[in-house]
Structure 1
């Protein structure tokens, strides 16, 4: 339990670590944003395909894996359709409304991330749990940076920007606790939960991060950033054995 609390808290706090530098910046190029998004996407894909999904398959079978992945993707699809939200680069609503919609969008993105951390740490596989928590923490850094940078460049106060970032981090920690509860109290659901989290993460990557990173004509540097992010995660897998 103590290990879970420490790893889940560190993973969530990486959002705030990423947010801090942007509080003192006023601009970053589209190229820089695209590279960060693509690097994040690579980390998430590798975490899913090298951590969550193989572990789900090892604990169950192809049927469970398929059901879990499809449930993760379908749940986020429903949430995308029925919960109003907006992503950082799409904009023509007024400033206060944009801030609220952006917060909702990032909270939606963090649900599968927090759940992934919790269910992985509850699985009993310490290496896999540490791997997923590390992967989520790594991708939280550029995510926190981009969100807070978006707010700062729209003249949001430093205090309010930090509050938004804290809310996103707290939500991820709360969903990690939920995932851990399901994993420890209902152990039969662990393979479903791992596959669910993997499917949800793949959905976020393909639906949000990759299109966003290719939206300003920087496909080549974004593609290499994606590959480097994937290699970073594979390197962590090998390092953790």
Structure 2
């Protein structure tokens, strides 16, 4: 339990770590943003395909893994349809500043719930290093997310410190959802393979639907591709190290 709390807390605080530079500067080139997003996509892709799915397959049948992955994908699809998707850098929605800020903060907060569940479920698995690996992968994804959220808020005339604080708070829901995921899988026998597969589906949705398209949107596809592969290799290396 102690490792779960520490891992989920560090993963959630990575959002604030990513937002920290906003206190000193408020711009980032599209090229570096795309490279960072693609690196994150590689990390999460490797975590899903080389850690979560193999661990789920080791405990259950292929059908269970398919059901879990599809459920994770469908849950994030529903969340995306319920919460408006707002481009953090190119927003042209004709609504007030306050309403727009609430929308984006709500979207990011809800988006973090499945990520926290992924961390909690991973700590319930029999593999001793899996929880730490998934917490790391989610944390890497949270860092650029925190920066972009803080940047959006500053562009909406929110003070730098307040933007940093709000961006950090969006990650706090991950600690609660991690605890929920951990206790659910601990209480319900046989739920771990479903939970691991669900986490994999959620992460793959984020990679393919959000991170990869975002990293290719400004003409830096080649740099983003190399960054994606590098992130993939880094996570595979970490997987072998913790094995």
Residue number in structure 2 paired with 1:146? 148
Residue number in structure 1 paired with 2:196? 194
Residue number in structure 2 paired with 1:73? 73
Residue number in structure 2 paired with 1:95? 97
Matches within 5 A, 1:13-162: 13-93=13-93, 94-162=96-164
Distance 1:212 1:97 in 2: 24
Pick which of 174-183 and 153-162 moved more: 153-162
Pick which of 75-84 and 45-54 moved more: 75-84
| Equivalent pair of 2:50/2:236 in contact (CA under 8 Å) | yes
Distance 2:59 2:90 in 1: 41
Q: Tell me how many residue pairs correspond in the alignment.
A: 241
Runs of 4+ in structure 1 off by over 3 angstroms are: none
| Equivalent pair of 1:109/1:204 in contact (CA under 8 Å) | no
Tell me, yes or no, if structure 1 residue 225 matches structure 2 residue 227: yes
State the secondary structure of the residue aligned to 2:161.
Answer: helix
Given the two structures, how large is their TM-score scaled by the length of structure 1? 0.94
| Equivalent pair of 2:23/2:161 in contact (CA under 8 Å) | no
Given the two structures, how large is their TM-score scaled by the length of structure 2? 0.93
Matches within 5 A, 1:169-180: 169-180=171-182
Once the 2 structures are TM-superposed, how far is the Cα of residue 90 of structure 1 from its aligned partner?
4.3
Pick which of 151-160 and 54-63 moved more: 151-160
CA deviation profile, 1:135-189 (whole Å, cap 9, x unmatched)? 2122222222222223234432123212322321111111111111112111311
CA deviation profile, 1:177-236 (whole Å, cap 9, x unmatched)? 111111211131110011001001101111111111111111111111111111111111
| Equivalent pair of 2:122/2:196 in contact (CA under 8 Å) | yes
Distance 1:170 1:156 in 2: 20
Unaligned runs of 5+ in 2: none
Residue number in structure 2 paired with 1:2? 2
Q: 1:228 to 1:74 in 2, by over 3 A?
A: same
Q: 1:145 to 1:99 in 2, by over 3 A?
A: same
| Equivalent pair of 1:87/1:105 in contact (CA under 8 Å) | no
CA root-mean-square deviation: 1.6
| Equivalent pair of 1:4/1:121 in contact (CA under 8 Å) | yes
